[in-house]
Amino acid sequence: MRVLICGGGVIGATIAYFLSLKQADVVVIERTGVACAASGKSGGFLALDWCEGSPLAPLARRSFELHAELASAFDGKWGYRRLETLSVVASARRPLHAASRLAPPEWLARDAIVHQRLGTRATTAQVHPAQFTRGMLDAAIERGARLRPDASPDLRAAPTVAGFRASSWTAT
Ligand SMILES: Cc1cc2nc3c(=O)[nH]c(=O)nc-3n(C[C@H](O)[C@H](O)[C@H](O)COP(=O)(O)OP(=O)(O)OC[C@H]3O[C@@H](n4cnc5c(N)ncnc54)[C@H](O)[C@@H]3O)c2cc1C
């Protein structure tokens, strides 16, 4: 199966990786740079159960597990870490300590308080987003996927996609 993936962000990179495990013939087209957009600038924050009660809950849970599996398989290449997540409030104008509900960690500034614990090491984690995206794409490339940088697709889609034209090459 031949697959063209438009965009070398985290979505394109991870699709490329998982398809490469299935021996698909994968080409990723990226017009600017891998992880150049949201995927390189995000918080890289992962939560197990923040979609509970929505149709996305099973997907979020599976994604959280999969991140741990990938971090272990790739030996922590993108800085995966479990962490406690706190909601913090700070004010330069009024003292907030009366509203403090939880003991602050020692690194927190003195004019800030912990409003709420959002997650524990069992339920929240973080990756370096650009390193994760690049790591997934590198792993896909090691398994045969190809990256076409500086290419922007001109999909010929009437009535179904019949081919693809980029500035320097054509695939049909
Ligand atoms: C400030 C910020 C913080 C965030 N924090 C988190 C977080 O903590 N946790 C979380 O889960 N999510 C977070 N997100 C959301 C997350 O970053 C995005 O959902 C995710 O990165 C989207 O990935 P993507 O691959 O779909 O898109 P993108 O990362 O935007 O990648 C799209 C790629 O496609 C390329 N492209 C576009 N058009 C073309 C074209 N015509 N031809 C070729 N290439 C093209 C672009 O150059 C780009 O590289 C955050 C987002 C932002 C902005």
pLDDT of residue 101: 78
pLDDT of residue 38: 98
Atom of ligand 1 at shortest range from CA of 36: 49
pLDDT of residue 103: 87
What's the token pair of residue 11?
């979505």
Distance, in Å, from the CA atom of 79 to the CA atom of 128, rounded to the nearest integer, reads 6
pLDDT tens by residue, the chain, 172 residues: 899 999 999 999 999 999 999 999 999 999 899 999 999 999 999 999 999 999 999 999 999 999 999 999 999 899 999 999 999 998 888 878 777 778 889 988 888 899 899 999 999 999 999 999 999 999 999 999 999 987 666 665 556 666 666 655 556 5
Taking the domain 1-42+130-172, which CATH number applies? 3.50.50.60
- Ligand 1 midpoint to CA 5 (Å): 14
Residue nearest to atom 37 of ligand 1 (CA): 7
C-alpha pair distances (Å), 46 with each of 2, 17, 22, 43: 31, 19, 26, 9
pLDDT of residue 123: 98
What is the greatest pairwise CA distance in the chain?
67
What single string gives the DSSP state of each residue in 55-87? Answer: TTHHHHHHHHHHHHHHHHHTTTTT--EE--EEE
The candidate with the shortest Cα–Cα distance to 31, out of 153, 130, 140, 136, is: 153
Ligand 1: residues whose CB is within 6 Å? 6-12, 29-32, 36-39, 41-45, 152-153
- Ligand 1 midpoint to CA 39 (Å): 4
- Ligand 1 midpoint to CA 86 (Å): 25
Atom of ligand 1 at shortest range from CA of 151: 43
For the chain, the domains span 1-42+130-172, 45-84+120-127, 85-116
Atom of ligand 1 at shortest range from CA of 126: 8
pLDDT of residue 165: 63
